[in-house]
Amino acid sequence: MNQIVARYLDGRLLKGHTVDFLPTNDRFHLFPAGSYPGSRPLEIQVQELKGVFFVKNLQGNPAHVKRNIFEPTNLTPGKKVRVVFKDGEVLMGHAQGYHPERKGFFILPADQRSNNERCYVVSSAAREISVIGA
């Protein structure tokens, strides 16, 4: 199971677990945090999201200050990208499989202390996607 935070275009978010997220599918299922064993999952439509954030834990760290910088010691493979979402949030990281015509792509955050392990960015939710240093 993957711990995720599904962040919607309208600002809502859902935290929980998924076992069937695939970047090629239009939907996946989320078992909300705190749901009872045997509960039915929610069906999530990817086009309603800005991203799916695969997290280390569902509580996060409220004291963490987000850092959108590439540390020289960060040798993560992939293209360095800067994503500006339509709501103004900026996410920087290493993209694997980014191509402008795809519906989305995975990014490994530049901030290695982030609670996010990786993020699936829904391309239509971004105002701007730039490859840095290419």
Confidence of residue 65 (pLDDT cuts 50, 70, 90): confident
Into how many domains does the chain fold?
A: 1
SS3 per residue for 49-89? EEEEEEECCCCCCCCCCCCCCCCCCCCCCCEEEEEEECCCC
Report the relative pairing of strands 116-122 and 104-109 from DSSP bridges: antiparallel
pLDDT of 81: 93
Determine the structural domain holding residue 14 and report its residue range: 2-55
Residue 36 lies in a domain: yes
If one compares 52 and 76, the residue with the highest pLDDT of the two is 52
73-83 residue pLDDT tens? 777 778 899 99
Mean pLDDT of the 22-35 span: 95
pLDDT of residue 84: 96
Average pLDDT, the chain: 90
Query: Is 102 among the domain residues?
Result: no
CATH, residue 39: 2.30.30
8-12, 97-101, 122-126: least confidently modelled range:
97-101
